[in-house]
Structure 1
Amino acid sequence: MEIIITGALPPKRVAEALAKEIPQDSAFIKRLQQHKATRHQLDSDLIGCTPAEYYQVQQQEFSPIAGQRYVDALPALDYPKEKLDDNHGIFTLALCNIHVDFQSTRLFPSSQLQITKEQSLALFEAVKYLFAEKKIKLIAIKSDHWVLGLPQSFAGSIASSSILSYRELHDYWPKEDHNKGLRQLLNEIQMLWHKLPVNLERKAQGLKEINSAWIYGGAHPKQILPEPTYPYAIISTLENSYRNEDWGRWLQLLPQLEKDIQTVQGNEFHQARAAAIAKANNPFSSLKPGEDSAEPEASILCRGESPSSSKKTSFLLAGFDQLIKLESLSFWERTVNNFKNSTDWKSWWHQS
């Protein structure tokens, strides 16, 4: 099994100072000391998504057609058996907050919004007639996003909401003529959600409003393998503090990161995951009357066959446009070169 830790590569300008604040006997430091690193530089404009999202698509061997990027296959990963016409694809409608001020336009992704299932359902109730009018197929409703079936021609290749949370949104707004239908749908959704009771309640609670959607995807399920080539888990415990460059909070979350790693490596987590997968996948079935909570284990995403606890685990560290694969040091490297390798990690542990 491979474990990808997002938000784990700080910018070079802060990495040295941050390293001094991490307890030197911590599991995080020991992991860096006991591995050698291979860096993979990614062009986020070319792939349209974060390194962790790129990794997921690559694991299901996406076969793009002309004009498609890796981001376009993301929504199809969990729906490889979905029945769609050949000229249709699976899209993600990500719930988000778009903040506009005099200096910039910024997208806050769902991971920063604490969206509950009931709030997601209330937002859908406000736009369901619009979906019916436009013949948009609803495949699933999750607390932080919806899954849609649409013609592949509905939109061009649109970057994911996760990668755009690191960027100036204005530069990536779909202005092209072939994205006219997409712009119109986004504008109509924004108008219907403006001053919706659920958003008035969030505002009163000091939470950001869910004032917009972001739609991306379009690949057909037949363009990917039904299962990843290798089981993996993505742990995003550090992601929000990394995105906001809140390094104090980032340091505080390191113990929780280790707990999440232990959770992924334990049998109980995978048994619970198997039970959840076996549950009916009806869009509304997971919501019980009166239930109002976020998805459990929100910082952990697993795909692939549940691994045996005896199988080897390898790690990858993800930044905003880089992946570092950690490879265990040999016995010789751990002994003869012990001192060198215990300090050498500082030369590569950063987002360059």
Structure 2
Amino acid sequence: MAAELLKQLPKHAPQLVQYFDQCQSTIQSFPIHQSRCVAEEAWQIEQGQWHSAKAKHNAALALLLAQQQQKSLTPAHKPFWLVELVHIAPARDGAALIPASDLHIDQAHSQQLLQSAQSLCEGTPFQLQPWSTTHWQLHTNIDLPAHFASSALVSRTAVNAWWDQDHATRDWRRFVNELQMLYFDHPVNQQRQSQGLAAVNSLWPLGGLAPSAWQADNVPLRLATLSDAALRQDWGLWLHQLQELEKTLMPLLAHSPTLVLSNLEHIMTLTPTTPRFWQRFFPSTPTWRNHWLAQS
């Protein structure tokens, strides 16, 4: 599809393509089995101060989310964990996950589900506290391994590929299994299903890194306009949304920003350059086009 979309770009976003053509393009790879998150998440983490070279990028995702929401974290030396409210359902390849961002969870439902989950925590090594509508803070007195893949990555692949069965996660797996039974016919999920919404039937952990190990310097402007259509492979909608994205970007392009485009495992960085005199007579193929096609 990359080659076909490349043909359509000038028709739907001509000014954006013109800007791309004036940029120098570089490509960076983030293999998912090393980062255990999608390329965009890994890139955002690497923009900060990264002091845990042995840790996977996914271990810092809870810290990244806290930084994006401008929340302070204490104590700085203890691993910070969050859990995300998700939907897990049987699928052709084992099980599929829908992240909280696609579940349309309201505050009242989140609070009711949390209260039920807290009652289940008694007698377990886990405690849950409110944090946001879509995430709760997880406290535990066991050494939970910081290797859970990001929900964004799991939603694009399969739960089975990332649901580790090692001894260190045995208590967590048992807790989640009990929680899924509790949520199966929970009043909140009965109400959600009557509204045509997917049930919130599980929790997915993220984090495991101490706040002192990573600190972001800034938060780049993130535009996720194209993400949903790309995931659904609805390329007609993708091109339509690209037109809207161009309108959003046009005032910003006047300031010659660096643009960062992502797919599952790669980041393409477009940096504005000043054309050389000889390029007016011997134009070359912009590097971003080759990088775009290489990802197909």
Deviations, residues 89-138 of structure 1 (Å, cap 9, x unaligned): 11121111112045432112222222222322222122122346546455
- Give, in angstroms, the shift of residue 255 of structure 1: 3.2
Amino acid at match of 1:83: T
- Give, in angstroms, the shift of residue 345 of structure 1: 4.0
Secondary structure (helix, strand or coil) at the match of 1:331 reads coil
Residue 245 (structure 1) aligned with residue 236 (structure 2):
no
2:82 and 2:136 in contact (8 A); partners too: yes
Secondary structure (helix, strand or coil) at the match of 1:313 reads coil
Distance 1:85 1:136 in 2: 20
Amino acid at match of 2:20: L
Residue 97 (structure 1) aligned with residue 87 (structure 2):
yes
Q: List gaps (5 residues or longer) in structure 2.
A: none
1:75 and 1:147 in contact (8 A); partners too: no
- Give, in angstroms, the shift of residue 40 of structure 1: 0.5
Equivalenced residue count is: 290
Residue 82 (structure 1) aligned with residue 73 (structure 2):
yes
1:148 to 1:257, Cα distance in 2 relative to 1, 3 A: farther
* Alignment correspondent of 2:16: 28
* Alignment correspondent of 2:116: 126
- Give, in angstroms, the shift of residue 178 of structure 1: 0.8
Distance 1:255 1:125 in 2: 44
- Give, in angstroms, the shift of residue 260 of structure 1: 4.9
2:12 and 2:242 in contact (8 A); partners too: no
2:81 and 2:138 in contact (8 A); partners too: yes
Secondary structure (helix, strand or coil) at the match of 1:251 reads helix
* Alignment correspondent of 2:292: 349
Select 2:243's aligned residue among 255, 258, 261.
Answer: 255
1:89 and 1:151 in contact (8 A); partners too: no
Distance 1:258 1:197 in 2: 43
* Alignment correspondent of 1:52: 40
Q: How does 1:268-307 map to 2 (within 5 A)?
A: none
Residue 233 (structure 1) aligned with residue 221 (structure 2):
yes
Deviations, residues 192-246 of structure 1 (Å, cap 9, x unaligned): 2111222122222222222111112110111112x41x44122222112212212
Secondary structure (helix, strand or coil) at the match of 2:133 reads coil
* Alignment correspondent of 1:69: 56
- Say which structure is richer in helix: 2
Q: How does 1:311-330 map to 2 (within 5 A)?
A: 313-330=257-274
1:34 and 1:334 in contact (8 A); partners too: no
1:159 to 1:231, Cα distance in 2 relative to 1, 3 A: closer
2:230 and 2:238 in contact (8 A); partners too: yes
- Give, in angstroms, the shift of residue 172 of structure 1: 1.5
Amino acid at match of 1:254: L
Deviations, residues 4-57 of structure 1 (Å, cap 9, x unaligned): xxxxxxxxxx01212333325534323322222101011111111111111222
Distance 1:65 1:139 in 2: 30
Residue 172 (structure 1) aligned with residue 162 (structure 2):
yes
1:62 and 1:70 in contact (8 A); partners too: no
Runs of 4+ more than 6 Å apart: none
Deviations, residues 137-167 of structure 1 (Å, cap 9, x unaligned): 5564323222334357123411111111121
* Alignment correspondent of 1:160: 150
Task: Normalising by structure 2, report the TM-score.
Answer: 0.85
- Give, in angstroms, the shift of residue 259 of structure 1: 5.0
> Percent identity over the alignment?
23
C-alpha RMSD over aligned residues: 2.9
1:332 to 1:108, Cα distance in 2 relative to 1, 3 A: same
- Give, in angstroms, the shift of residue 247 of structure 1: 1.4
Secondary structure (helix, strand or coil) at the match of 2:138 reads strand
1:310 to 1:36, Cα distance in 2 relative to 1, 3 A: closer
Secondary structure (helix, strand or coil) at the match of 1:326 reads strand
